[in-house]
Amino acid sequence: MAKPLLKIQRYFRRKPVRFFSLILLYLTAGSLVFLHSGFVGDSGPGGRGSRDSVIAPEMGSRTSLSDTRGLGIMGRVFKETHRSTRRYGPPWMKKARQGGQEIRRGGDYTNNWNRALKGRNAKDVDDGRAKYIGCYIDDTQKRALRGVSFFDYKKMTVFRCQDNCAERGYMYAGLEFGAECYCGHKIQAPNVSESQCNMECKGEKSNLCGGANRLSIYRLELSQESARRYGSAIFKGCFHRPDNVTLALPFSAVIQNMSVDKCVDMCTEREKSLAVLAGDRCYCGFPTPLFSLHEMENEDMCLHRCHGEEFESCGNDEYFVVYQTQVQDNRCMDRHFLPSRAKQLVALASFPGAGNTWARHLIELATGFYTGSYYFDGSLYNKGFKGERDHWRSGRTICIKTHESGRKEIEAFDSSIIMIRNPYKALMAEFNRKYGGHIGFASQAHWRGKEWPEFVRNYAPWWASHTLDWLTYGKNIQVVHFEDLKRDLFSKLKGMVQFLGLKVSEDRLLCVEGQKDGNFKRSGLRKLEYDPYTPEMRANINELIRTVDTALKKRKLSGVPEEYMPR
């Protein structure tokens, strides 16, 4: 046996080219086998082959499990490469299914969620993100949804339409002709039989996207408060006529066949941020102490049909309908460094995820001065936080962002505003920031993987110790709860400005209210499908909440808001 092997070895030593040729042929044959298995794996209805479809019948019982698994993996590789251009859903829409079904790792993530909608019942479709309302008539002359719209005749999906409308603050999203998406804050057409919404979505054949002049409409269940819109204008509400309307709203005109569009267009041309409808008269102006928009009336008081718009209300002589145009209110946009070096260092202290960046945005608009930071974040500097680059001791900024705790770090400041947020919300916000950026989202893999439990275990105690340290070592403190600031922005922000030792400008504060979100708000539609907190996590966090509540009350301060407390 040794002699033949020796002869073969001598043969290939003399003929190395033949040896490499044989290796090349072997590799080519293997590649063709795997390529074939990939195409077999992608066969089936609509090109959606399952893992089992790659197991050919003629392989018989001799096919091993490992061979089958290898072919299945290669099939998915080719399938994902072929369909990689159809990834529209966010990470949390991925469905990792067990029990022999395929675990999807690519493609359109909305299919699994929406498959149940085919042959759907409007009452049954409500998953916490959007609720199916029904099929509605859509007239090209009088649209059912009159906000923004966009078309995609190759890749339109239900979720893609919903997400685009949600990010713009609309209450409704509608799909038509399988490829058209319409947004609006009000449905302005009658509904019809479900059978008339019978066209498949261009980007997901398993779901329906309206029909010919028929809209499949969803009501968006946003996770955050969202503005109602009419096209590009934001609906602010119904308000009583101001005492001195000429002084409060200096420009006005009577418009024939009044409509929301006409008033908004006129005020936009006049570069005013408010469009105010009062019957057939349109007023334009800015929020002022004479017309602050703080005392909203019941919308029924403004029910007066527009002459030029059948489905819209135009108010009357006593009760005005108010919209905010796209015109920027520049009364609070100028910002500078302090004219002289500050004598005291004021900290804007918070646990990460408690709204520090948002508070900096509000303070800068309200005061006209830049805020600084204990750190340097290039992305925030590029977004306009020019104080980010200054050393925190420069004295050129009105206050300094910090997440530090510990006696030495805290005593470096002469006074501090302490931002506190519900730990359940703060932890999730910081987790999203850590893995998705300032306004991004962590992936589903991060939430379901080991990262989230480890994060909660390390960060939850810090939420409590951070506040306790500042309450213990802070020299002159003002506590601001994120939720209170969000609910009552004007008065809470006014108190913060006064604490900073500056004169309050009510015009600037009213200007801030009109652009309070800035670029620091996450899209409201995207939220987790499940509660990420385990019972053990909740028990630990609840105990930390009680500890902080007790510490606040010992300092003669109001305790944590009631919504923090465990039930």
- Give the 3-state secondary structure of 183-236: EECCCCCCEECHHHCCCEECCEEEEECCECCEEEEEEECCCCCCCEEECCEEEE
pLDDT mean over 422-427: 94
Last residue of a domain, one of 220, 246, 266: 220
Which pLDDT does position 309 carry in this prediction?
Answer: 77
Question: Which is higher by pLDDT, 230 or 451?
Answer: 451
Task: Examine the domain organization and report whether 204 and 247 are in the same domain.
Answer: no
pLDDT mean over 170-191: 88
Which pLDDT does position 186 carry in this prediction?
Answer: 79
Which pLDDT does position 80 carry in this prediction?
Answer: 33
Banded pLDDT at 300 (limits 50, 70, 90)? confident
Question: Which is higher by pLDDT, 62 or 427?
Answer: 427
Task: Examine the domain organization and report whether 414 and 560 are in the same domain.
Answer: yes
Q: Looking at the DSSP assignment, which residues form a beta bridge with residue 306?
A: 309
Which pLDDT does position 408 carry in this prediction?
Answer: 94
Banded pLDDT at 409 (limits 50, 70, 90)? very high
Task: Examine the domain organization and report whether 205 and 258 are in the same domain.
Answer: no
Which pLDDT does position 500 carry in this prediction?
Answer: 96
Share the mean pLDDT of the chain: 79
Reply yes or no on whether the pLDDT at 557 is more than 50: yes
Which pLDDT does position 74 carry in this prediction?
Answer: 32
Which pLDDT does position 294 carry in this prediction?
Answer: 93
Question: Which is higher by pLDDT, 487 or 19?
Answer: 487
Task: Examine the domain organization and report whether 216 and 233 are in the same domain.
Answer: no
Helix (H) or strand (E) holding 243: none
Last residue of a domain, one of 220, 252, 276: 220
Q: Which of 101-115, 334-348, 454-468 has the lowest mean pLDDT?
A: 101-115
CATH of the domain at 492: 3.40.50.300
Reply yes or no on whether the pLDDT at 380 is more than 70: yes
Which pLDDT does position 438 carry in this prediction?
Answer: 65
Contact 164, 150 (CB under 8 A): yes
Reply yes or no on whether the pLDDT at 50 is more than 70: no
d(CA 485, CA 512) in angstroms, rounded, equals: 13
Task: Examine the domain organization and report whether 242 and 213 are in the same domain.
Answer: no
Task: Examine the domain organization and report whether 144 and 267 are in the same domain.
Answer: no
Which pLDDT does position 14 carry in this prediction?
Answer: 57
pLDDT mean over 175-185: 90
CA triple 548-550-555, angle to 5 deg: 95
Is 400 inside any structural domain? yes
Q: Quick one: DSSP state of residue 60?
A: G
Is 3 inside any structural domain? no
Residues of the chain with pLDDT > 70, as a percent, come to 72
Which pLDDT does position 255 carry in this prediction?
Answer: 94
Task: Examine the domain organization and report whether 501 and 386 are in the same domain.
Answer: yes
Is 341 inside any structural domain? no
Task: Examine the domain organization and report whether 206 and 151 are in the same domain.
Answer: yes
Which pLDDT does position 107 carry in this prediction?
Answer: 32
Banded pLDDT at 19 (limits 50, 70, 90)? low
Is 364 inside any structural domain? yes
Task: Examine the domain organization and report whether 455 and 410 are in the same domain.
Answer: yes
C-alpha atoms less than 13 angstroms from C-alpha of 477 in its C-beta half-sphere: 23
Supply the range of the domain harboring residue 247: 229-324
Is 428 inside any structural domain? yes
DSSP of 446-509: HHHSSHHHHHHHHHHHHHHHHHHHHHHH-SSEEEEEHHHHHHSHHHHHHHHHHHTT----HHHH
Q: Quick one: DSSP state of residue 244?
A: T
- Name 211's Cβ contacts closer than 8 Å, sequence gap at least 6: 135, 176, 177, 196, 197, 198, 199
Task: Examine the domain organization and report whether 424 and 395 are in the same domain.
Answer: yes
- Considering 120-129, 233-242, 299-308, the range whose residues carry the highest mean pLDDT is 233-242
Which pLDDT does position 16 carry in this prediction?
Answer: 59
Question: Which is higher by pLDDT, 511 or 13?
Answer: 511
Which pLDDT does position 32 carry in this prediction?
Answer: 57
Is 262 inside any structural domain? yes
Reply yes or no on whether the pLDDT at 164 is more than 70: yes
Task: Examine the domain organization and report whether 244 and 372 are in the same domain.
Answer: no
Which pLDDT does position 470 carry in this prediction?
Answer: 96
Q: What is the pLDDT of residues 233-261, one digit of tens each?
A: 888 999 999 999 999 999 999 999 999 98
pLDDT mean over 370-387: 90
Which pLDDT does position 10 carry in this prediction?
Answer: 63
Total domains in the chain come to 3
Whole-model pTM?
0.63
Task: Examine the domain organization and report whether 305 and 385 are in the same domain.
Answer: no
Is 82 inside any structural domain? no
pLDDT mean over 404-418: 95
Banded pLDDT at 519 (limits 50, 70, 90)? low
Last residue of a domain, one of 164, 193, 220: 220
Q: Which of 14-18, 35-39, 60-64, 212-216 has the lowest mean pLDDT?
A: 60-64
CA quadruple 363, 365, 368, 369: dihedral sign? positive
Which pLDDT does position 321 carry in this prediction?
Answer: 95
Is 306 inside any structural domain? yes
Which pLDDT does position 48 carry in this prediction?
Answer: 34
